[in-house]
Structure 1
Amino acid sequence: MIRPKQDCIREKKKMKMKKKVERSTQTPKTSGELKDAGSIPQELKMEILLRLPAKSLVRVVSASKLFVPIIRRRDLINSFLTQSLTRPRFLFTLSNRNRQVITLPKIKSRRKGITCFFGYDPINHQYKVLCMTQLSAYYLHHNKHVAAGEHQVLTLGAREKWRMIECSVPHCPGTDGECVNGVVYYGACTGKDMNELVLVSFDVRSEEFGSIRFLGDVEKSRLFCLTLINYQGKVAIADGGSFVGYDLWILEDAKKHEWSKIHAWHKYFDHKNLFVIGITCSHEIIFAPMYFDRPFYVTYYNVKGNSIRSVEIEGIEDRGYRRNRDIGFPIDLCRIWTFSDHAENIMPL
């Protein structure tokens, strides 16, 4: 039996109405589920977020405003950093590669020489930049050291300008800085004729300077060759090179100017231009070359066993390195900085 055309039309309309009713009844259920998702305990949300890498958390902040207050919480930021510090990684920076930078306010000074150090205050959770300027005489005469002046500080993220501060230790900085437990350390010359080597300390929180006397027979000419590292929560100064080995001076007590010393030598170091870059939790000293080459190795030296182990690092891509070789330039034009204790941090600057 063939049904009339009108009956078929009525049946199709009923089916459409039925679907609309089903959709309308599902809407309250969906909104209820979303409401339940928003009632997830904060502790559970934080535990889930702590399992994500830093890049994923940045994407979450960009995609969902719901999680922004949680990700910006101080306890989550601290927990993420603490967790990241338990598994430090290597960071390699090549001199001819693009880097992500933060543009700082322009420093107002007529002096040509500018030296900056970067530090972190773990009490107030603030990043600060210490800047000092030097007269052009320092650059015109290589052997003449001139005390820095116009010491300025900038607090990142506070929308502040450079602030002038007083320095009670006239000195000429000569090494890179190392921030350990809220204090920035760097090697410098001081004294009447800038002939005395000291370790300058800058407390990031109080913005006060101090100086610690060097021990041992470190020559003034070696100042610019010294390397500062974090030796298990203490600042250490590394000096030396091929054939003679390396001395590692560890600051045990800043107030009493007390140091301890570790000497590292192995025939492996001969004919190699290596620099101390860090220390492992098992007291192995980490070495890396100053200039990029293939193959690229990171070397571990065991002090107690006087043993060496080298690890080849693969995957470092640098077009500038290949261009230098293609056109016949020496490969040492490609400077590489190796950091052994890189940790991710989601604290906004």
Structure 2
Amino acid sequence: MSHPAFDVEANHCSHLHGLICYATASASAELKVYNSSTRKSTTLPKLEPETSVKSHFLGYDGIDCVYKVLCMSGPKPVFQVMTLGDGSSWKTIDVGLYSHFPLVNHICIDGVLYYEACADTKLKGTSFIIRFDVRSENFERIKMPGDDVKCSAMVSYEGKLAIISMEISSDGGLVLWVLEDAVRHKWLKKVFVLPNWWTSFVEGTLVHVFHRFVNVNDAGELVLAPIFVLTRHYVLYYDPNRNSIRKVTVEGIEEPKRHDNSRPFDACRLLHLCSSQVESLMFL
């Protein structure tokens, strides 16, 4: 498929059910939604008042079967929401007691949008999870499992929110925190250890440093991908029940070109990897 040809920063992209929402990198940033099935994109109405887009997320309400975009604009934080496809405009919503600044990690599960956030304007300090009900448009705050937990990705694990630790340890260890009770902020810790021979699937040294956890698919496999693409694109699938790994090479994508031969390491950084693709014929 052809790329929608947008110039965008890494943190200005969200995806859900085959829809990709992104903000242009121009001074007068616009929000657009691209349907990877129909390969059509649409520009969303400008925010009122017209300010720069700081963060945005896609959410889905399975009861009313509608998609919504939650957006925070600046410089003074203002949260607005808009329903896609029904001709509605942006609506300002009150975060109540849960003043926050969204970070990058996010996921929508069963009509609830979860995303990582921080209380400080400079995005420093202990982060937490914001729970946004797409249908009622209400916010709640969930504590992290611990102050030292660094979130690498948010995934759906057995239908529940789960966060993966920031790094893969040198022995192939992955730590997954599963949210058991959002009201009591109760998390369950699960540890997975990749088999020693998983490094034979990839190139180079320190492979645990240059790979990241992406998702858990419907079969219960943990999906990993390289952070940098050296020669070819591939994805790793780890089955914790069978303790097995399979490698899938993605064909048809040009190898990344080295821009500076004087640098010892120069590769293409993989910014986004969308798994569990769903065909959507929604016309926006």
> What's the TM-score, normalizing by structure 2?
0.71
Q: State how 1:250-269 maps to structure 2 within 5 Å.
A: 250-266=178-194, 267=196, 268=198
Equivalent-residue separation in structure 2 for 1:331 and 1:342 (angstroms): 30
Give a deviation string over 1:291-348, Cα, whole Å, max 9, x none.
3343322112233454433232223x24xx54x3376486534434222211112233
TM-score (norm 1): 0.59
Is 1:126 the counterpart of 2:31 in the alignment?
Answer: no
Query: Greater shift after overlay, 329-338 or 339-348?
Result: 329-338
Corresponding residue for residue 294 of structure 1: 231
Of 44, 55, 58, the residue aligned with 1:104 is 44
Where 2:228 maps in the other structure, the secondary structure is coil
Structure showing greater radius of gyration is: 1
Q: Distance in 2 between matches of 1:158 and 1:314?
A: 38
2:114 counterpart of 1:174: no
Q: 1:336 to 1:194 in 2, by over 3 A?
A: closer
Deviation at residue 155 of structure 1 after TM alignment: 1.0
Which letter maps to 1:298?
A: V
Q: 1:340 to 1:311 in 2, by over 3 A?
A: same
Where 2:273 maps in the other structure, the secondary structure is strand
Q: Report which of the two has the higher share of strand.
A: 2
Aligned pairs for 1:7-22 within 5 A:
none
Structure-2 separation of matches of 1:253 and 1:326:
48
Alignment partner for residue 213 of structure 1, among 143, 147, 152? Answer: 143
Give the equivalent residue in structure 2 for 1:161: 89
- Unaligned runs of 5+ residues in structure 2 are 1-16, 21-35, 200-205
* Separation in structure 1 between the aligned mates of residue 53 and residue 188 of structure 2, nearest angstrom: 34
- Which residue pairs with 1:325 in the alignment? 258
* Paired residue secondary structure (1:338): coil
Does the 8 Å contact 1:291/1:335 carry over to 2? yes
8 Å contact from structure 1 (residues 274, 290) kept in 2: yes
Contact 1:172 1:194 in 2 (8 A): no
1:271 aligns with 2:177: no
Name the CA shift for 1:240/1:170 in 2 (closer, same or farther; >3 Å): same
1:188 matched residue in structure 2: 117
How many residue pairs match? The answer is: 235
SS where residue 224 of structure 2 aligns? strand
Instruction: Give the letter aligned to residue 299 of structure 1.
Output: L
Q: Distance in 1 between matches of 2:193 and 2:165?
A: 12
CA RMSD of aligned residues (A): 3.2
Identity among equivalent pairs (%): 32
Deviations 1:222-279 (A, max 9, x none): 45xx211122321111113243532111112222222112223334464242222221
2-structure distance, mates of 1:174, 1:326: 30
Q: Indicate whether 1:150 and 2:90 are aligned.
A: no
- Correspondence for 2:54: 114
Determine the structure 2 residue equivalent to 1:236: 162
Contact 2:230 2:268 in 1 (8 A): no
Residues 154 and 161, structure 1, Cα contact 8 Å, conserved in 2: yes
Counterpart CA distance in 2 for 1:165 and 1:334 is: 36
Structure 1 unaligned spans of 5+: 1-87, 92-97, 136-147
Please say if residues 197 and 214 of structure 1, whose CA atoms lie closer than 8 Å, have aligned partners that are also in contact.
yes
- SS of the aligned residue for 2:229 comes to coil
Letter in 2 for 1:303: P
Tell me which of the two structures has the higher relative contact order, counting C-alpha pairs closer than 8 angstroms and 6 or more residues apart. Answer: 1
User: Is the helix fraction higher in 1 or 2?
Assistant: 1
2:134 is aligned to 204
User: Contact 1:301/1:309 (CA < 8 Å) preserved in 2?
Assistant: yes
SS in 2 for 1:241: coil
Distance apart, 1:189 and its partner CA = 1.6
**CA positional deviation for 1:284:** 2.1
Alignment-mate amino acid for residue 344 of structure 1? E
* 3-state DSSP of counterpart to 1:283: coil
Contact 2:258 2:267 in 1 (8 A): no
* Equivalent in the alignment of 1:345: 280
